[in-house]
């Protein structure tokens, strides 16, 4: 959902939190209160212009649960995902049926997405280069 102007975003956000689908409720139950990989998720959160289903700020990870897809919805979702990724957010999507029939697999995929990637390691992979020509000493 694209952010409406004025004070409407808060109303939409509250309505989205209140009117979650069964699959969204099921996934929320599995990830809330740091139940999954000790990650804090928020539900129905605005990221820029877009309302995402679930968001973990620590990992900059948006989790989306998609309903029945229609061509126009797929185009919208692709544009939205492109914008979010361009802004530095990671997006992972699941269908309603995946959440309802394979919650453990969905949780495993989210857990894997939360794991730090080797490129974001806090320590370098090898020794630091030595200074050249007396520099730094």
**What's the rounded Cα separation, in Å, for the pair 82 and 98?**
23
Query: Tens digits of per-residue pLDDT, 5-14?
Result: 555 777 878 8
Superfamily of domain 8-115: VSR Endonuclease (3.40.960.10)
Question: What is the arithmetic mean of pLDDT over 131-136?
Answer: 53
Pairing of strands 90-95, 61-66: parallel
Question: What is the arithmetic mean of pLDDT over 40-65?
Answer: 95
Query: Tens digits of per-residue pLDDT, 95-108?
Result: 999 999 999 999 99
pLDDT score recorded for residue 133? 56
**What's the rounded Cα separation, in Å, for the pair 82 and 113?**
18
């Amino acid at each position: 959902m694209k952010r409406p102007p004025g004070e409407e975003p808060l109303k939409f956000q509250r309505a989205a939190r209140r009117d979650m689908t069964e699959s969204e409720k099921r996934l929320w139950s599995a990830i809330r209160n740091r139940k999954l990989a000790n990650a804090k998720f928020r539900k129905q959160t605005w990221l820029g212009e877009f309302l995402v289903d679930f968001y973990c700020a620590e990992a900059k990870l948006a989790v989306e649960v998609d309903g029945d897809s229609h061509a126009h919805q797929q185009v919208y979702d692709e544009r939205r995902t492109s914008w979010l990724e361009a802004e530095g957010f990671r997006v992972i999507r699941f269908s309603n049926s995946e959440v309802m029939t394979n919650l453990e697999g969905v949780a495993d995929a989210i857990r894997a997405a939360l794991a730090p990637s080797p490129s974001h390691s806090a320590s370098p992979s090898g020794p630091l280069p030595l200074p050249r020509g007396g520099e730094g000493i």
